[in-house]
Amino acid sequence: MTSTAVRPLPGRLLPADALLRRLTLMSLMTTIGNGLFVTVSVLFFTRSIGLTPSRVALGLTCAGVCGVLAGVPMGRLADRVGSKRLLLVVGPLEGLAVLGYALVHSFLAFVLLACAATVLERGAVAVRSALIARVLPAETQVRSRAYLRSVMNAGVMLGAGGAALALQADSRVAYLAVLALDALSYLGATALLSGLRVPAVVLGEAMEGAAKRRSALRNRPYLLVTSLHAVLELQLAVLNIGIPLWIALSTGAPRWVISAVLVLNCLTVVLFQVRATRGVGDVRTAARACTRGALLLAGACLVYGTAQHRSAVLAGVLMIGGVLLHNFGELLTSAGGWTLSLDLADPRSHGEYQGVFMSGQAAAHVIGPLVVTSTAVAHGYAGWAVLAGLFAVAGLVLPAASRLAQRQDPGSSRHSTR
Rounded to the nearest 10 degrees, the angle between the axes of helix 107-135 and helix 83-100 is 150
- Rounded CA-CA distance 27/145 in Å is 11
* Domain-embedded: residue 396: yes
How many other CB atoms sit within 10 Å of the CB of residue 366?
Answer: 19
Question: Contact at 8 Å (CB) between 229 and 402?
Answer: no
Nearest alpha-carbon partner for 186 in 26, 372, 15: 26
User: Could you report the per-residue pLDDT of 13-41, keeping only the tens digit for each?
Assistant: 677 778 888 999 999 999 999 989 988 88
- Rounded CA-CA distance 127/87 in Å is 7
Residues 6+ apart with CB under 8 A from 248: 255, 258
Check whether residue 164 and residue 258 sit in a common domain: no
Check whether residue 184 and residue 59 sit in a common domain: yes
User: Could you report the per-residue pLDDT of 133-185, keeping only the tens digit for each?
Assistant: 788 887 777 788 888 888 888 888 888 888 888 888 888 999 999 999 999 99
- The pLDDT of residue 410 is above 50: no
Check whether residue 44 and residue 147 sit in a common domain: yes
Check whether residue 39 and residue 124 sit in a common domain: yes
The answer to which of 128-132, 189-193, 233-237, 333-337 has the lowest mean pLDDT is 128-132
- Rounded CA-CA distance 401/284 in Å is 11
- Rounded CA-CA distance 171/283 in Å is 51
Residues 6+ apart with CB under 8 A from 192: 22, 25, 26, 29
Check whether residue 348 and residue 263 sit in a common domain: yes
Q: Burial of 409 by CB count in 10 Å (0-12 exposed, 13-18 middle, 19+ buried)?
A: middle
Instruction: Give the pLDDT band (50/70/90) at residue 204.
Output: very low
Check whether residue 106 and residue 135 sit in a common domain: yes
- Rounded CA-CA distance 186/94 in Å is 7
Residue 317, domain extent = 215-410
Average pLDDT value for residue range 228-237: 95
Choose the most confident range, by mean pLDDT, from 49-58, 198-207, 309-318. 309-318
- The pLDDT of residue 412 is above 90: no
* Domain-embedded: residue 368: yes
Check whether residue 253 and residue 331 sit in a common domain: yes
User: Could you report the per-residue pLDDT of 75-86, keeping only the tens digit for each?
Assistant: 889 888 889 999
CATH number of the domain encompassing residue 262: 1.20.1250.20
Q: How many domains does the chain have?
A: 2
- Rounded CA-CA distance 288/3 in Å is 23
* Domain-embedded: residue 207: no
pLDDT value of residue 329: 96
Check whether residue 105 and residue 147 sit in a common domain: yes
How does the average pLDDT of the chain come out, rounded?
Answer: 86
